[in-house]
Chains A and B, each alone.
Chain A
Amino acid sequence: MWASISRTMALIRKEIFAILKDPRTRYSLLLPPILQCLIFGYAASYDLNDVPYALLDQDHGAASRDLVARLDGTHVFHQVSYLVRASDIKKTIDDKTALLVLQIGPDFERNLLLGKPANIQVIADGRNSNTAGVALGYLGIIVDGFNSDWRSLHGLPNPPVQVTVRAWYNPSLETRWSMIPSLIGTITLMQTMMFAAMSIARERELGTFDQLLVTPLRPGEIMVGKAVPAMLVGLFQATNILLVAQLWFRIPFEGSFFTLYLGLILFLLAAVGIGIFVSSMAATMQQAMLYSFVLIMPFALLSGLTTPISNMPEVFQYFTLINPLRYAITIAQRVYLEGVGVDRLIPYLWPMALIATFTLSAATWMFRNRVA
């Protein structure tokens, strides 16, 4: 038993030295995660803070001026052009000069004063329909504000039912708050899984794996010796991303580090397990790399990172059950934003343990039987 542990420790130590010694590996494991976290923290957001719009005001009344002033006062909407003819709308949208065109008809203020519904026509560039939808949503809020002020100014009754909205765990509904905790899992998955897959595939391609096998190390010990350093790399990267989230983006951490790291360790074990399993199927480094890449793609897309899992058809929802990233993202978000304890996380923890057990034992079996 002791001999086995000390043999494994020796292999782990050697692997860690190998990582630390090569400056290229050192940098490729340290810098990309931090850079990605910074860039994607800013880029991966559905929130808009710049909506260029064009105005076609055919009314020129006080009411339309008031409405436009409200838009300009938000610092989100800014007027890029003032149109005089409806025929200019097409070019403005086509050339992406403006995301929205607001058309206020000639009888806007008259209708308003007569108590008739006054309409404004809005044309949105639907090439990215999600962005257009968000911009229209913002516009709706501003028009609502205008409406309720107009009603109280002119003694009109307010609508009988008001909807008050509150969001839990993310009061101002910033996408960044949901996105950055999920990046902890997403970014570490990519490198950890590939790192584990490559570290074995390289030895096999160079023929040093056979040399490892003739040492007293048993296949199971080699597996542990390869898995632990890859997991340490993952934990190191996760910690860096966590630091960026808290020190740079200042997203308040509600949970306990113990719970988060418990989840992360199981997740990394599953990721490393998949990586090692892939390398047991691959004959060369190139194959190991391409196979892991082919897996990372659906893992990332079917994780709930960019689109909700409940929107997916059932077949794909079943696939997400074997996707460790799905659980890691849920755990990271829930621990980070909600501060939930381990008891709430059990439904996400055991599937990852199961994935790790299955992949690691399958890989050990593959290695043992290939050599025999």
Chain B
Amino acid sequence: MQNDGLPAKLRRIRALVRKESYQIIRDPSTILIGVAMPIMMILLFGYALSLDVKSVPVAVVIEDTSPVAAELVAGFRLSPYFKTQVTTSMAAAEELMLERKADGIVRIRQDFSRNLSLGKAEVQVLAYGGDANRARIIEAYAQGAVGEWTARRASAGEAVFGGPVNIQSRLWFNEANDSHYYLVPGLIVMVMTIIGAFLTTMVMAREWERGTLEALFVTPVRTDEILLGKTLPYFALGMIGLALCVLAAKFLFDVPFRGSILVLTVASMLYLLVALGIGLLISSTVKSQFAASQLTMVATYLPAMMLSGFMFDLRSVPVAVQVIAYAFPARYFVSLLQTVFLAGDIWAIVLPNAAVLAGMVVVLLVLSVRATRKKLA
């Protein structure tokens, strides 16, 4: 055990890794972040988050008592997108909206059937704009429900209808329009960020704040060995998190994996190193645990969620915000993940993004070794 032929350097690193691993296993909070949190996130992303709209509560106001109007209402009732509450007065529908029991109102006015025979009928849709995205989807589905109803009437020989130009759209890589497909890359980037950056920052800032790192400096262990010994266990934890996410993506959410495992692994290792580097750099610069954790949130966690392009499209933000997004590693990793999972190993996407991440790794590691060594003097 004492001397099993390994060089002294490796033995020192091994000792540090072993000590750090015991610490991870024995502190309930690190186990919580490293293991319970990824599992919780897989469940949240997989089951709780969904932008697919289903059974939106809408109030349908029928002011017209004709059978045609009733038929149209039936069209809304049959639609899987709506859960209808039928009323005959607009005031009752408005009250439902104000109580937030309805997200939209479909109003069929008194003169609907008369106007329909004249070819100029109108259906009014009011959407609750507090959630703009949802309101837009409600509009589109309401239009769809009316369109389908018109088409059914047309095929029953009532009137001929069809747009001069029709769009036939195909969603490549995600034919079924399943939102899990784009949530999985987001899930992976969040898990890696939390383990890589957040956990490392907390652990290192604590050592700095308590002065225990200085105690380590007086031992024969060298700076690079300390950094390696400290980060290797978290690196392993991050890769375990990745494996969990990939397994969940494949077996729980049926997200296709069209690229190669090798590309995914290399890209993830690069991102994990970047995250670790940011964590090391922040904790050695700001040595208080509170300030370090806040900085890490602002520098890694929030950009991974908001500026990585996994949820919100980056093409639409002002140039200044785009520049900021380019400064954070998350967007490159999300781009890689989306492509490797859904499109395959498209080198035109994989190589530039991986190159940027690799560059960030080098810069961050050099900076954090320097920031740590300076304290020895």
Instruction: Please list the residues of chain A having a beta carbon within 8 angstroms of any beta carbon in chain B.
Output: 24-25, 28, 32, 35-36, 39-40, 42-52, 67, 93-96, 99, 112, 115, 117-134, 136-137, 139-140, 143-144, 146-147, 150-151, 156-171, 173-175, 177-178, 190-191, 194-195, 198, 202, 282, 284-287, 289-291, 293-294, 297-298, 301-302, 304, 306-308, 310-313, 316, 330, 333-334, 337-338, 340, 344
Contacts and interface: CB of A to CB of B under 8 A. Distances in A.
Nearest to B133: A46
B167 A140 contact: yes
Interface stretch (B5-13, B227-235, B301-309, B366-374): B301-309
Given A32-B298, A166-B126, A285 B165 contact: no
B165 A123 contact: no
B168 interface: yes
B97 interface: yes
28 contacts: A28-B295, A32-B297, A39-B324, A43-B307, A43-B321, A47-B316, A96-B335, A117-B165, A118-B165, A160-B159, A163-B124, A163-B125, A163-B143, A164-B122, A165-B126, A166-B124, A166-B126, A167-B127, A167-B135, A170-B129, A175-B132, A291-B32, A294-B40, A297-B44, A301-B45, A310-B57, A311-B52, A313-B47
Interface residues of B, number: 117
Given A126-B174, A344-B99, 19 more contacts: A25-B291, A28-B290, A32-B294, A32-B297, A49-B315, A96-B349, A127-B174, A128-B310, A160-B119, A160-B161, A161-B121, A161-B146, A163-B122, A163-B125, A163-B142, A168-B97, A171-B129, A297-B37, A310-B55
Given A297-B41, A311-B53, A287 B348 contact: no
Contact of A128 (B119, B120, B168, B313): B313
Interface in B311-335: 311-318, 321, 324-325, 335
Nearest to B162: A117
Contacts of A131: 313
Contacts of B127: 165-168, 173
A94 B348 contact: yes
A301 B128 contact: no
Contact of B123 (A117, A162, A306): A162
B82 interface: no
B167 A122 contact: yes
B306 A28 contact: no
A302 B44 contact: yes
A94 B315 contact: no
B288 interface: yes
B173 A127 contact: yes
Contacts of A127: 173-174, 181-182, 338-339, 342-343
CB-based closest 4 A-B pairs: A170-B129, A126-B174, A167-B129, A126-B171
B293 interface: yes
Interface stretch (B198-206, B239-247, B266-274, B354-362): B198-206
Given A39-B306, A286-B202, A95 B346 contact: yes
Contact of A130 (B28, B51, B302, B317): B51
Contact of B182 (A36, A46, A129, A311): A129
Interface in B267-301: 286, 288-291, 293-295, 297-298
Given A117-B166, A127-B338, A130-B179, A43 B317 contact: yes
Interface in B91-136: 97-100, 103, 116, 119-136
A316 B198 contact: no
Contacts of A50: 315-316
Nearest to A97: B348
Nearest to B145: A163
Nearest to B99: A344
Contacts of A191: 294
Contact of A121 (B168, B181, B314): B168
Nearest to A89: B172
A147 to B, nearest CB: 5
A29 to B, nearest CB: 8
Contacts of B344: 94
A105 B56 CA distance: 37
Contacts of A94: 343-344, 346, 348-349
A202 B205 CA distance: 13
A167 B99 CA distance: 16
B140 interface: yes
B170 interface: yes
Contact of A338 (B130, B136, B295, B298): B130
A326 B213 CA distance: 41
B155 interface: no
B44 to A, nearest CB: 5
Contact of B288 (A24, A51, A282, A294): A24
A290 B166 contact: no
A140 to B, nearest CB: 6
A126 B306 contact: no
B233 to A, nearest CB: 15
Given A43-B306, A129-B174, A129-B179, A168 B128 contact: yes
Contacts of B265: none
B87 to A, nearest CB: 17
A164 B294 contact: no
Contacts of B170: 121-124
B129 A337 contact: yes
A161 B122 contact: yes
A48 B313 contact: yes
Given A43-B312, A160-B161, A129 B167 contact: no
A286 B206 contact: yes
Contacts of A117: 162-166
B341 to A, nearest CB: 8
A174 B165 CA distance: 28
A313 B48 contact: yes
A115 B164 CA distance: 7
A151 B160 CA distance: 13
B248 interface: no
B89 interface: no
Nearest to A104: B165
Contacts of A169: 128-130
B155 to A, nearest CB: 14
B169 interface: yes
B33 interface: yes
